[in-house]
Structure 1
């Protein structure tokens, strides 16, 4: 009887391990949907030819420490994850945009499919003159985040909105990069949202 119980436990652990491996990293997953992110546009079918990201909008996970570390330039929107390289493709500047008003308050919303202890959330925006016709680099962004929300190792709820002020003086097309930094792993989640003023 003991051998049967031990065998069942081994099988259960094997199935659990295979499930974790099949779904990528275990634990935290999330994306922004206000302003709508590129991965959400792919998942809801607004944008086609997206590859795997259409099924996994919550999985844009890469090394944390942005901007000093993290994904390489040109691979930021995909979190450095080659499976989601379509997110770094500028598509000739044709990603759909959310209209915002510079200098006004906005609710930046995250959706989480799994939660994790969190260091903070940071929001960056491109410099004036960015056209959206090339993959995002650090040089394209204002050097400091315009909004930082410390989270003190807490787990976020399934939906979380941060109220912040859009930087004044922004005109034309821009990209907002949202970075969710995980406290107890070496990773962060990345979401790029195309906007216009």
Structure 2
């Protein structure tokens, strides 16, 4: 009896930990324009890396990795406190604003060489915030006071007393929140500090975006960049294509490129190269590129390049339930790529019928909308290798009979089951 009680205690504690983990890691995001420190260091690491690794070259990013490792870069969207509940100034001490938890503390380093975004004082810009897992809430943007010293730890008293921008539930499209805001009249180097407090949870997200203000006279930048060069396609797979193009020029500087398929933005990049993912196999696309500056001025579109994706290769999905109980079950899912090229940034979709409720997921992020579940890989299994497979799983609650899904689509293409 004692052995049975001990085993029951272990199982119960384990289940409590798993439910808690699943409940606090469901929303993720960070500022992508102007880019947060974690996001820009991640992009810097991608540019300097190879073979699926991140190798930052920016000195501040290198120092952050030396102190805190690379995992914060892979998880650049997860700089959060799960139980903040609006108590930001109470629970985040001075010197820890940019990384309020141990995992991200290296991004508090007081340095003047963090990757920065050039902006124009008094201009109207479009803020962009990644919606890795969207949720309702309020965003507040603060800016540092005149005379702020970036080489000293950031304190609450270094920020202006009120946010220069505040918005609740901004528009969401293409995996990002975006909204227009007017920048303050500042000059030189500053930090824009963003707080996202969810309204459906006490969870809150924090980010520091290093910016350099120009044009402090109050005259906005109205000159658009020149058109980028014609994109050149390479590394074409069944669901992705790599594009390179000649950089555009601007009177102040190009801040971003957007890749379009018709009127739809299919990729963004801070350099003159991008990989467009999520395409459909054996399909024709016509792609062009537009450059934007920090004030939001858009260039003329580049000339277009025509691309036809290849065959995705046979994919198969194995769906098993190793454990079921009254009111729930555990599912294990295995995706196998029978093709000769990797499947990047995989997304697997299947029907999730009424009466089933997702309670936890591992090795993936799963969202359920209108009876359809979509799983995305974690940082370490985001691609399905050629001839290989990836695994993930989830727990679900049920209020009726458990129905197994009968069909799956991988990045929009049907997969066999077995």
Counterpart residue number, 2:94: 73
Higher helix residue share: 1
What SS does the corresponding residue of 1:69 show, helix, strand or coil?
helix
What SS does the corresponding residue of 1:110 show, helix, strand or coil?
strand
2:89 aligned with 1:87, yes or no? no
**Deviation (angstroms), 1:53:** 1.1
**Deviation (angstroms), 1:187:** 2.2
Counterpart residue number, 1:137: 155
Q: Distance in 2 between matches of 1:42 and 1:99?
A: 16
Counterpart residue number, 1:8: none
Matches within 5 A, 1:144-159: 144-151=162-169, 156-157=172-173, 158-159=175-176
What SS does the corresponding residue of 1:53 show, helix, strand or coil?
helix
Question: Which one has the largest radius of gyration?
Answer: 2
Structure 2 CA distance for partners of 1:143 and 1:162, relative to 1, 3 Å: same
2:36 aligned with 1:37, yes or no? yes
- Deviating above 4 A after TM superposition, structure 1's stretches of 4 or more consecutive aligned residues are 17-20, 154-157
Q: Distance in 2 between matches of 1:155 and 1:70?
A: 29
CA-to-aligned-CA distance 1:21-42 (integer Å, 9 cap, x gap)? 3x89321100111001101022
2:55 aligned with 1:55, yes or no? no
Among candidates 159, 166, 181, match of residue 164 of structure 1: 181
State the TM-score, normalizing by the size of structure 1: 0.80
CA-to-aligned-CA distance 1:128-162 (integer Å, 9 cap, x gap)? 111211221111000000001023xx995521112
**Which blocks of at least 5 consecutive residues in structure 1 are unaligned?**
1-10
What SS does the corresponding residue of 2:131 show, helix, strand or coil?
strand
Counterpart residue number, 1:188: 204
Check the 8 A contact 2:144/2:190 in 1, yes or no.
Answer: yes
Greater RCO structure (CA 8 Å; 6+ sep): 1
Report the aligned-residue RMSD.
2.6
Check the 8 A contact 2:171/2:177 in 1, yes or no.
Answer: no
Counterpart residue number, 2:24: 25
Check the 8 A contact 1:124/1:178 in 2, yes or no.
Answer: yes
State the TM-score, normalizing by the size of structure 2: 0.39
Size of the alignment, in residue pairs?
A: 178
Higher strand residue share: 2
